Amino acid sequence: MGAMGIHRSRRQQAYDVVTPTRREALMADIARRRRRYLSVIVPCLTLVVVGFFVPLPTALRVVTLVVAASLAPAAVIAAGSRPHR
């Protein structure tokens, strides 16, 4: 029992290494870029809706639209372009 006890107490870690294929890596990259784009463009569109449809003073409407106008290019930059291969 001594040898079995020692063997059982030693846990060998098995690493499950998965290397994605080129297609899987590309799809994961596209999904990551899409999430980044949406995380910036949704607040942008929300500010546009607030700027046009919520009854606020004109100064606040202009400020929300200026911020929204600056977020639109930021969304494109956040998404970036795919690296050239």
More confident residue, 81 or 79: 79
Q: Could you list the residue range(s) of the whole structural domain that residue 55 is in?
A: 41-85
Flag whether 2 is in a domain: no
User: Domain for residue 62, yes or no?
Assistant: yes
> pLDDT band at 21, cuts 50/70/90?
very high
Q: Can you give the C-alpha Rg of the chain in angstroms?
A: 25
Overall pTM surpassing 0.75 (yes/no)? no
Write out the DSSP string of 22-70: HHHHHHHHHHHHHHHHHHHHHHHHHHHHHHHHS---HHHHHHHHHHHHH
In a domain, 3, yes or no: no
Domain count, the chain: 1
Is 35's pLDDT higher than 70?
yes
Q: Is residue 32 part of a domain?
A: no
67 part of a folded domain: yes
Residue 53 domain-assigned? yes
Among 1-5, 34-38, 63-67, the least confident range: 1-5
pLDDT band at 2 (very low <50, low <70, confident <90, very high): low
Q: What is the pLDDT of residue 17?
A: 85
